[in-house]
Amino acid sequence: MTPIFRIPAVSTALLFGSLLAAGTATAADTGMAHEHHHDHAAMDSAGGVPTPEGMSIRIVAPADGATVATDAPLTVQVSTEGMDASGDHWHLYVDGELQAMVGGGRTDYALDTSALESGNHELKVTISNASHDEYDTQARAMIVVDGAE
């Protein structure tokens, strides 16, 4: 089984060059590779930085409790309000592990579920500013990965 993505260090310019490209985001083009300067486990428990008024994020798809297969990408779709597309972007976590950073107004991300074991997994999305400080607004959904062939 292939391990879930790891995040090597690259420049912020590369990150936002990738984030601002048009189309649906995938692991190859979301700027997954950049140096993250924050301890997200600590930020999750602390709640992040205060969310600006009018900013929000929610998971549109998959539905909470959805069953997904491991043989096809899962499209994670969000709806956001109040984001500044010049720097704000959203982070996708699976079971607490950062999977992607998506920006440039994109609302979809094609998540490769082939590395996930069968069973329950938590998706979490947060909004982050250009400095990669996560706001305390977030949304969560549970999925069930079905590895049966």
- Report CA-CA distances (Å) from 93 to 22, 97, 101, 105, 108: 22, 5, 9, 18, 14
- 31 within 8 A of 15, measured Cβ to Cβ: yes
- Residue 121 forms part of a structural domain: yes
Here the CATH number for the domain that contains residue 95 is 2.60.40.10
Q: Which domain holds residue 75?
A: 12-146
Is residue 27 a part of any domain in this protein?
A: yes
Would the pTM of this model clear 0.85, i.e. be above it?
Answer: no
Q: Is residue 101 part of a domain?
A: yes
**Joined tokens for residue 17:** 């060059």
Q: Is residue 7 part of a domain?
A: no
Answer whether residue 2 is part of any domain.
Answer: no
Q: How many domains does the chain have?
A: 1
pLDDT (tens digit, 9 = 90+) per residue, 16-65? 333 433 344 444 444 443 444 444 443 444 467 899 999 999 999 999 99
5 lies in a domain? no
